A and B are shown apart, each in its own frame.
Chain A
């Protein structure tokens, strides 16, 4: 449904997107992950025909965004970063306006508005001015707007921002239900969200796609081995080699002489007990011993920090920073 080939977007000297390619099949939900300024919003703006790409081709539902923007716009429901609501209108008036802009009228319009009001739980506020609604309600009105004409393609820029946890779960359920019949691209900072609702994740950083896979495979890709972090108070000179000699340990990384070690072990083999015993009997002063599980969060941080991804020193660097809140 969506096909992006080698898209580049430059703002003057600044390159916001650098040869980005990806595609979304019908009924698929794709998450766009990336730090602020990575190019997520720019990509979405190109797909919704708000701005043209400097180079490259973007096709939505078989129509080129540059040549046939009207056809593309008709098939897209778009929720920008800030919900595009008019404060001086009531929820119903606003949805009527949106529907009319998209060519809905009469009974179809009324039915569509009713459907979205029910779907997003806006029943109690439908006659209130949007300006008086809370951030969460405005976000839901924004979603209702995107869904109103039942478009085959949805582009949602951070759809769950400003919602409370219960609403977040509801919206995720809603997106999951849309999958299958609708193609959805959503961007998010919240990694569990991507794991929860998406079949595929695209991690974008500095205008480039650094990884693209299913959430499970992305974490598996970086978790080719179990990792254990070890902090010793008084490591000996032979600590490194003795740790490496333990059964199941494949690799040992140290970071300077701070006593911090990272052990890479065979998959499915827990060497913590053994390591603890050796550390205690050798009098290394065991301070900390823990298994590192690679969540999508770690994958994301690593990929966006080090674009090359899996260099061993980058893993060691991330061990150093595990003590800091991320």
Chain B
């Protein structure tokens, strides 16, 4: 077992011993399930209305259910993922195990990578459980799988970005609550940048500001559009956040 694997195993163990993962997971799945149900019932009501007016109706689950659901999930992830990441470094500092980690013969990049991977695996398993919902729907209706899959790709990338921001925030402080709020704040700013970009309009600055926000990149994927530009955005911002985390952890030694 390499040191990175050892860290992942240890972090997963810590996650599943504490109630945090269960509570966060339960709330996440409950809200996603509830939203899916609401959108579905709403879509059904619309279909009945159309039937009455036109005599026939084609229910488009992609547009009426999945797109709305994926749009809502941005917000749920923004709230819950910082709760998952907040302990990663803050707790080590609080419990004085930080010094132990940094005096172990492993690199800081291995520590950051291990911690990120562990929480990413937790997130993937939660996301995997929501996959039951499209699978169930596929039994009873017909819809286009392609945009659903790209939507999930979008969620994975978006989640990874949120988690990396959370890792950075957690490295900044020894207080977990502060870490959670800092990452929620940073993510909201990133979100609102798209609004600012729209305000600035179709100028170079406006486009640049909108590009910094994850909104349009995620939207493309939800609409079934896989563009290299968007993948580059997610992967490079992920790398940047993890690099910054590395720098912050490293600089903590100098104080």
Contact = CB atoms under 8 A, between A and B. Distances in A.
Given A50-B103, A105-B1, A85 B97 contact: yes
A250 interface: no
A102 B14 contact: no
Interface string B171-191: 000000000000000000000
Given A50-B103, A73-B103, A101-B6, A86 B254 contact: no
A93 B10 CA distance: 9
Describe A's contact surface by its main secondary structure. loop
6 contacts: A51-B254, A84-B97, A88-B17, A100-B1, A100-B6, A103-B3
A93 B105 contact: no
A45 B100 CA distance: 10
Contacts of A102: 104-105
Given A87-B95, A101-B3, A103-B3, 11 more contacts: A49-B103, A50-B102, A50-B103, A50-B253, A73-B103, A73-B104, A78-B103, A80-B96, A89-B10, A93-B13, A102-B105
Contacts of A11: 255
B142 interface: no
B14 A101 contact: no
Nearest to B254: A51
Interface of B: 1, 3, 5-7, 9-10, 13-14, 17-18, 95-97, 99-107, 253-255
A292 to B, nearest CB: 41
A116 to B, nearest CB: 16
Interface in A47-77: 48-52, 70, 73-74, 76
Given A73-B105, A76-B103, A87-B95, A97 B6 contact: yes
A255 interface: no
Nearest to B106: A101
A86 B14 contact: yes
Interface of A: 11, 45, 48-52, 70, 73-74, 76, 78, 80-82, 84-89, 93, 97-98, 100-103, 105, 145
Given A74-B105, A101-B105, A50 B3 contact: no
Nearest to A77: B103
Nearest to A142: B100
Contacts of B6: 97, 100-101
B13 A89 contact: yes
A52 B104 contact: no
Contacts of A145: 100
B86 to A, nearest CB: 16
Nearest to A89: B13
Nearest to B15: A88
B106 to A, nearest CB: 6
Contacts of B107: 70
Nearest to B253: A51
A50 B99 contact: yes
A85 to B, nearest CB: 7
A105 B255 CA distance: 34
A88 B105 contact: no
Contacts of B100: 78, 80, 84, 145
A86 B97 contact: yes
A204 B148 CA distance: 67
Contacts of B95: 82, 84, 86-87
Q: Which of A52, A74, A80 has the most CB of B within 10 A?
A: A80
A84 B14 CA distance: 15
Contacts of A81: 96
Contacts of A74: 105
Q: Which of B14, B100, B101, B253 has the most CB of A within 10 A?
A: B100
Contacts of A84: 95-97, 99-101
Contacts of B9: 97
A74 B105 CA distance: 5
A102 B3 CA distance: 8
Contacts of B5: 100
Nearest to A45: B99
A156 to B, nearest CB: 13
Nearest to A87: B95
A102 B100 CA distance: 12
A281 B11 CA distance: 80
Contacts of A98: 104
A100 B14 CA distance: 16
Q: Which of B1, B97, B103, B106 has the most CB of A within 10 A?
A: B103
Contact of A97 (B10, B99, B255): B10
A86 B104 CA distance: 15
Contact of A82 (B18, B96, B101, B103): B96
B243 to A, nearest CB: 20
A101 B10 CA distance: 11
